[in-house]
Amino acid sequence: MKVTISDVARLAGVSTATVSHTINNTRYVSDETKERVYQAIRELGYTPDASARSFRTGKKQTVGFIVPDISNKFFGTMIEAVENYLSEHGYHLIIANTKEDADREETSLRLLTAGLVDGILVASTMEDFNRFDATIPAGFPVVLVDRTFEAKKYSSVCVSNFQPIYRSVCRLSGKGAQRIGIVGGLPRLSSTKERISAYQEAVEDCGLPQEESLVLYGDSMENSVQSCLDDLLAQKCDAIVVCQGLMASETIIYLHQKGLQLARDIDLVSFVDYDSNFYELYSSQMDCIVQPVEELGRAAGEQILSRIENPDAPIFEKVLTSAYRPYDSPNTWNGKKA
The answer to the question of residue 327 being in a domain is no
Alpha-carbon distance of 14 to 213, in angstroms, equals: 67
Both 15 and 110 in one domain: the answer is no
Q: To the nearest whole number, what is the mean pLDDT of the chain?
A: 88
Question: What pLDDT band is residue 275 in, cutting at 50, 70 and 90?
Answer: low
Greater model confidence, 150 or 53: 150
Amino acid identity for residue 68 in this structure:
P
What digits encode the pLDDT tens for the residues 18-27? Answer: 988 887 666 7
Range scoring the smallest mean pLDDT among 203-217, 301-315, 324-338: 324-338
Do 200 and 275 belong together in one domain?
A: yes
Q: Identify whether 334 is part of a domain.
A: no
- Domain with 36, as residue range(s), is 5-48
Tens digit of pLDDT for each residue in 252-270? 999 999 999 998 999 999 9
Beta strands in 161-285 (DSSP E): 180-184, 215-217, 239-242, 267-272
54 assigned to some structural domain: no
Q: What is the CATH number of the domain that holds 14?
A: 1.10.260.40
Are residue 22 and residue 36 in the same domain, yes or no? yes
Q: What is the pLDDT of residues 149-165, one digit of tens each?
A: 999 999 999 999 999 99
CATH of the domain at 310: 3.40.50.2300
Q: Are residues 171 and 275 in the same domain?
A: yes
Is 253 found in the same domain as 213?
Answer: yes
Tell me the whole-structure pTM to 2 decimals.
0.77
Type of residue at 61: Q
Contact 181, 192 (CB under 8 A): no
Average pLDDT over residues 199-203: 97
- Cα separation, 219 vs 98, in Å, equals 13
- Assess whether 170 and 271 both reside in one domain: yes
- Tally of domains within the chain: 3
Long-range contacts of 267-270 (CB under 8 A, 24+ apart): 267/172, 267/175, 267/177, 267/238, 267/239, 267/240, 268/239, 268/240, 268/241, 268/242, 269/165, 269/168, 269/169, 269/172, 269/239, 269/240, 269/241, 269/242, 270/242, 270/245
The secondary structure element, H or E, covering residue 33 is helix 31-44
> Is residue 236 a part of any domain in this protein?
yes
